[in-house]
Structures are given as C-alpha cells and as structure tokens.
Structure 1
Amino acid sequence: MIREHLKKINKPASPDGDLIDCVLSHQQPAFDHPKLKGQKPLEPPERPKGHNPTGMVTENFQLWSMSGELCPEGTVPIRRTKEQDMLRASSFRRYGRKPRRHVRRDTNSNGHEHAVGYVSGDQYYGAKASINVWAPRVANQYEFSLSQMWVISGSFGNDLNTIEAGWQVSPELYGDNYPRFFTYWTTDSYQATGCYNLLCSGFVQTNNRIAIGAAISPTSSYKGGQFDISLLIWKDPKHGNWWLQFGNGVLVGYWPSFLFTHLRDHASMVQFGGEIVNSRPSGFHTSTQMGSGHFAGEGFGKASYFRNLQVVDWDNNLIPLSNLKVLADHSNCYDIQGGINRVWGNYFTMEGLEEM
C-alpha cells in the first residue's frame, strides 16, 4: 500500500542531488483531483490593494537551491517522498496530515500548546505577516514546533475550514530537525480532508523556484542575525481561489475554492503564532522549544517575532489589524506580548521553552 501511494505522490521527473523532482506543472498531485484533471495552473490574479513591493526579493532561501540548480519553466519543484518518510507516520492513512485540534480553541488541546495573536468577528479575505525563522529544539520524533498563519472559517466541530502557511520543525514528517517551509489545508477539522504541502490533491503550485517542504536557510540566531519570511494569503476576487505569495511578489500557488465549504466565501478568524506538541504524560512537560526558546520579554534578537500583521478586507485592500488579541495556552512555558510601532506595524514577540 505504501509503495502504491508513493507512485501517486512521486511523479516521473528528473531528480536533483537533494531529491527535489522537477515535475511538469500539469502533472503535480493537485491535478489528480477529479475537478482539475486535464487542466493547467491558472494565471496570476489581481494583488490586494495596498501591497507595495519594494522590488523582488531573492527566492534563494532554501538549502536545495543553494547550488544554483533550479527547476526549468513549466515545471514545479517537489520534495521527493521516500518510503522511510511514510513509515515514520503513526499510520499509512494519516501520513501527511495533522492530528486534530491544530487551531487554538481552549487549553484542552490534546497536547497541542499555542501562543497566538488573532482577530475575529469580521469578514476576512486574506492575511499577511513577516515570520521570524528559527531552528527550535524538538524533544522527540512525535513532537513538532512551528510558526504559521491560519485563515479560518466554520465551527470548531467537524466542519472547520483552514488555510495555513509558515515554517515547521517536524522530525516525524521530514526525518530531521531543519525548519521547513510548509502549507496546509483542511475542510473538516483535520479529519479526512487536506494535507501538508503537495502530499495530496489540493494546493496548486505555480512557482518553479520554491520547493514546499524544503529546508529554510538561513535561520535566526540568538543575539545574532535575524531572518524572516513574508507570507501573504488572499482570496482572488475574480475566481475565488486562495493564493499564497512569498516575499514581495513571488507567487507560490493557490488553493482552489472548490476544496472548501465555508472558505468559499470568506474567513471569520485569522491567527498568527506558534504551536508545539507536548507528548509527555500528565504532570510533566516537554523540552520542545517554540520559536527561539527565549521569553517574549527579551525582545528583538532574542525572542521570536511576527511583524507587519495585516488582513485583506472585502474590497481586496490590505489593512492593519485594529483589534489584535494575544493569548498563550501555558504562559509559564510559552508566552506572547503584542505591540505596534511605525516600523513593524502590528507585531508580537513570543517565547519558546528556555533550557530546563
């Protein structure tokens, strides 16, 4: 069963030394979907108003492309899934999927702990943030640490819709401790729909230089250089698909609107922040770090940050947040502090577990 599934995920392609396959755009996993069979990726949509690129930033932020080898036009780079990747999963059928309860709702989150900023109570058509990248320590194969954006609609029962993007360290999914660029989606509260990256029919990649699921380099260092990635998710007003942009103007691809129920219209909540899994038994706590592994109050260069937080309104305008709220499930382990200034706009710093 695993080998048959691998045949579907790993399309025929010319592999490079980092096991990144350059797959013809119309042969990527998304086009296995019945509603996309025989089609090709869409043309770029209208960008949100208020998006003012300051020039194209480098796309060379991943280890696989450091050698200068990139995929040719008309193809997309896809990280090859290996047999040992699937064997690390809790089950064959759950490979590439998140456990349930990956959106912060309450403190009873099955070991998932969050430190997030969020807005709710309005109609949202996208979100943007610059996310500080670190390489946090993860205690074991069954835990992870991530920083991401969530675009959310629906109830917290069985019909929750989310679109997600950011970076994560997940030894179970990737087999190492590198921070990796990732995407995710679900339309039924992480039960049977959706997946990470391109591990199922869903996200349509349009970029030939960014490999979703590939390791990020450089990363930030404590009291040293800081590195962040800017991500924008927005709903195309014309076709209704949700697009993902990296940096100042690099389109990564889109989630077709038909994948969703509630998100076919708009989002009702946007979250930004960090999440870890604590797999230790009750009364004990994992040593897995969130972000930098240092408290939010230590500030820039020491604590992890999100900056320039914005949302997209009904008229496709990027606007600042007016009612950002912050919360942490376990503030003695992972805390968060919000603020606003002229340079960073709406921002917050958050903490990962310090040395125990």
Structure 2
Amino acid sequence: MGREFVLRKPRNGIKCRRFDRCNTMRQTETELFSEETRERRRGRRRRINGSFFLDMIIFFRPCFSNFLFLSLFILSSSSSSSVLSTETENLSPRNQTLRPLEELNKLKAINQHLRKINKPSVKTIHSSDGDIIDCVLSHQQPAFDHPRLRGQKPLDPPERPSGHNTRGLRPKSFQLWRMEGETCPEGTVPIRRTKQEDILRANSVSAFGKKLRHFRRDTSSNGHEHAVGYVSGEKYFGAKASINVWAPQVQNQYEFSLSQIWIISGSFGNDLNTIEAGWQVSPELYGDNYPRFFTYWTNDAYQATGCYNLLCSGFVQTNSQIAIGAAISPSSSFKGGQFDITLLIWKDPKHGNWWLEFGSGILVGYWPSFLFTHLREHASMVQYGGEVVNSSPFGAHTSTQMGSGHFADEGFTKASYFRNIQVVDWDNNLVPSPNLRVLADHPNCYDIQGGSNKAWGNYFYYGGPGKNPKCP
C-alpha cells in the first residue's frame, strides 16, 4: 500500500532530514515556539511581533518543498487573520452590511411614501424658490385616499357666516409660485411636490409632516412656547383674524416659528381635536426659511392622526389658485411695509364640515367632519397667536424669533400683530371675540399685549427674539 511513516521524537540537537521527523517536529509545540531555539538558529535577536512567518521559513527550510511551504504560509496567514479580525471587529463585513441594509430599507420606505402622496399631474410649475407645483385633478388629491371619501368629488361651497365681507381685496399673486403668471387649470388643485430630501430631514417616514405632541401650556410642553390670545367657555363654530406675515429667523432645522388660528375641542389629553391654519417658517419641513401658508389637523392630540397641508388624507382642497405649503410673498419689514393675510375657518351649518377661506371670498377647502370626534359638534376654545420650538441648543434658550422677533410693546411696523379677531357663534354670525384673554408661556422670551379700537377691533401685538439677557 505504500511506504509506512512512523512518527518518532527527534533527539535534541539533531537536524531533521526526513519528512516523518519534520512532521514530528511540526507537531511538537515546545520545540516550534521555543524562543531559545529560534534565537539559536537565527544567531541574533529578532522582534517577536511579526516574526512568525520568517521563523517558519528558517526553521523548516531544510526539509520543506515549495508546495509545503506555501501551504504552511496560507495556514499561518489564516490563523493570523483570525486574530486580526478580533482586533478589527468593527470592520467585519457582517457589521458593515447592517447600516447599508438599514439605509436601503429606509430609502425604499421613502420612495413608497412619495408614490403615495405625489399624485399624477396634468401640469407642472417650477417656482423661483425651488418648489415644484403639480396641478392634480381635484378628485385625485390625497384626501380621496381616505376610505370615507374614495370615489367622491369635492363639495360645493357652503353658506358663509353672516357679517362676512367678501368684497374686499383678492390678491392675485401672494405666493412665489404664481409670480410669473403661472396658474393651474380649472378642475385641478395645486400641490407642492414632496421630494426625497424633504422626508430625509424628518426623524422617520412616519414622523414626516406631523407635529410633536405639545398641547400643554407650561414649561413641560416639549419645548413648544406660545404667546396667544384665546377665548373659552362657550360653544364656537369658527374664527377669523388678519395675521401679520413676517420671516422670522429660526436657529436650526429642528425648530420652527409659526403664527396661526387654533380651533380646539376636547380635553387637553389624548382626545384633543384641533384645526389649525396660518403661516410658518420650518426648515425641517420645507428646507428653507420662507414663511409658508399651512394647515394642520389632529383628533388625538398629535399622536397618530393628522398632518400638515395635504401630506395625508384629510383636508380637501377646492381651490386652483392657492398651494398649501407654498411660500408667501411679500412679507412685512421692520419699520417698513406691512403685509397680512385674512383667514376664516367656520363650520358649515348644513353638512358640518369645517371650511377655510383666504382673504375675501377665496375658498381653499374643508376638513370633513368625520375626521373628528369633539369637533363634529363645536369648538370649546379658539386661540390666535404664535408658537416656536425651543430645542435649547447648547443648553441655552433658542434665538428662534416669534413673529417679527420684537416684543409687543414696540408696536406697529416693529412687532407682529393679529387684528379684527372674531368668532362664529351658534347662529353662523361673525362677532367680535368676547372676553379675549392673552397669555405668554415665557414673557421674557416672547410676550403679548392686547387692545381694541374701531379700526382694528380686537387685536394684539406679540412676539420676541427668544434668547436675550432676560430670557433664561
């Protein structure tokens, strides 16, 4: 059957001249790894670290063929690499594939969400501020993805509150996308296209287009600070006000500054219902610092339901001239020209839906009554005013501005204002807001002062710079 090899233990000091004896020596750990033996054979001292391969070459040179040497080298390399893999654990292929896989899944979720909210358009308009406005058939807008609205069309205009003037000025181009005369055809609604980078700025796909839960009016309200006028204690069926538009500075993309009307019902708990509309500067949501016209709604205190603008099924837009979420132009300037927008929100007495009107007679759309619980009946509070997010960067109060960034006592052309503040009563009448009260969470940072006169009716000035010597 071939030659039989007998393994024998070599005597000390005798060279290996046969393969069987070399094999025996290779298995003898004390002879192989003895530093004294290696030092005697090389005749000089060497650094131990990194000398393993050279030792093997010299030690077995007399009896190994090239093939056997190569095999040993590969075997030794494998052993060494196993040690190196322990030292470089963070670089292992297994660990490296986790993050790319996570990013890939996130991008897939983002693209799936974009396909859901960006509807096919019959016309596309490129705005000077970088926005893309899609003219979408009105019955194909995101609202009609809702099971209760699927297959339907927008409702006809409702009866407006008595005492409402619809003969005032109707601005033709108060948004940047219309500055060059572009319009959407009748039967379509202009929708600001959501881009991949818009969603990437959010914490997650599910958080995109939503507000954080922040309904408490104290220092534990998740960093949201307010200066508001409000009415409560009665049944309210709408509200109206003219809101001064500014472009406040926002310190970082995780903060925002807004001015709006809140229609509120339910307790300040998990059942809170709100309808909101106004203007806001939100770098996270829009990627810039333009003031933008916006809407919002929730029926569970900002937990799972609701969204900004048309970023979910909810608000039904009926207007082909106004793009919700698009930039407003012009805005007011310090000691210069002042610009405000008039908003009216009211409950249709016939169908119970909550409608939104811009300016004098421009119907924007409506929130279907079935979206809500308490607001199916009426509102129990109305608020008007400003809100900012204070993320306390670097452990200090934010320098994000509210309104114009100046305190209320500086007055007209310097401080921001709400004027002609009204509510809609049970009989669908617009009346001055009774017993309007004002409240600022942190008056050293943002404050508010109310008043009344014949020209402006009920009004207030509000706002502030945020971080300043008096603001903690």
Alignment partner of 2:349 out of 225, 234, 237 = 237
| Cα deviation digits, residues 266-316 of structure 1 (max 9, x gap) | 000000000001111695110100000111001010000000000000000
Q: Is the 8 A contact 2:262 2:384 kept in 1?
A: yes
Q: Which residue of 2 aligns with 1:218?
A: 330
1:105 and 2:213 correspond: no
1:62 and 2:175 correspond: yes
Q: CA deviation at 1:105?
A: 2.7
**Partner SS for 1:114:** strand
Give the letter aligned to residue 343 of structure 1: A
Distance 2:216 2:320 in 1: 33
Give the letter aligned to residue 6 of structure 1: L
1:11 and 2:119 correspond: yes
Q: Which residue of 1 aligns with 2:228?
A: 116
Alignment partner of 1:141 out of 241, 246, 253 = 253
**Partner SS for 1:85:** helix
Q: Which residue of 2 aligns with 1:159?
A: 271
How many pairs align?
355
Matches within 5 A, 1:166-315: 166-280=278-392, 284-315=396-427
**Partner SS for 1:16:** strand
Q: Which residue of 1 aligns with 2:55?
A: none
Give the letter aligned to residue 328 of structure 1: A
Alignment partner of 1:26 out of 103, 128, 139 = 139
Distance 2:304 2:126 in 1: 34
When you count strand as a share of all residues, which structure comes out higher? 1
Alignment partner of 2:187 out of 71, 74, 78 = 74
**Partner SS for 2:285:** helix
**Partner SS for 1:39:** coil
The structure, 1 or 2, with the larger RCO (C-alpha pairs under 8 Å, 6+ apart) is 1
Give the letter aligned to residue 202 of structure 2: A
Distance 2:217 2:424 in 1: 23
Alpha-carbon spacing, 1:355–1:276, altered in 2? closer, same or farther (3 Å): closer
Task: Compare 320-329 and 46-55 and name the one that shifted more.
Answer: 46-55
1:49 and 2:162 correspond: yes
Alpha-carbon spacing, 1:50–1:191, altered in 2? closer, same or farther (3 Å): same
| Cα deviation digits, residues 10-43 of structure 1 (max 9, x gap) | 0011321121000000000000000000000000
Could you list the runs of 5+ residues in structure 2 that have no partner in the other structure?
Answer: 1-108
Q: Is the 8 A contact 2:398 2:467 kept in 1?
A: no
Distance 1:59 1:275 in 2: 29
Give the letter aligned to residue 264 of structure 1: R
Task: Compare 65-74 and 55-64 and name the one that shifted more.
Answer: 55-64
Give the letter aligned to residue 178 of structure 1: Y
Q: Structure 1-normalised TM-score?
A: 0.98
| Cα deviation digits, residues 96-143 of structure 1 (max 9, x gap) | 000001x45333211111000000010000000000000000000100
Distance 2:267 2:395 in 1: 31
Q: Is the 8 A contact 2:445 2:467 kept in 1?
A: no
**Partner SS for 2:341:** strand
Q: CA deviation at 1:54?
A: 2.9
| Cα deviation digits, residues 64-94 of structure 1 (max 9, x gap) | 0001000010000000000000000011101
Alpha-carbon spacing, 1:281–1:80, altered in 2? closer, same or farther (3 Å): closer
Q: Is the 8 A contact 1:203 1:256 kept in 2?
A: yes
Distance 2:216 2:453 in 1: 26
Give the letter aligned to residue 285 of structure 2: L
Q: CA deviation at 1:249?
A: 0.7
Distance 1:53 1:163 in 2: 23
Give the letter aligned to residue 305 of structure 2: T
**Partner SS for 2:153:** coil
Distance 1:352 1:74 in 2: 42
Could you list the runs of 5+ residues in structure 1 that have no partner in the other structure?
Answer: none
Q: CA deviation at 1:55?
A: 3.4
Distance 1:322 1:99 in 2: 31
When you count helix as a share of all residues, which structure comes out higher? 2
Alpha-carbon spacing, 1:81–1:62, altered in 2? closer, same or farther (3 Å): same
Larger radius of gyration: 2
Q: CA deviation at 1:58?
A: 1.4
Distance 1:86 1:95 in 2: 6
Alpha-carbon spacing, 1:349–1:104, altered in 2? closer, same or farther (3 Å): farther
Distance 1:207 1:321 in 2: 28
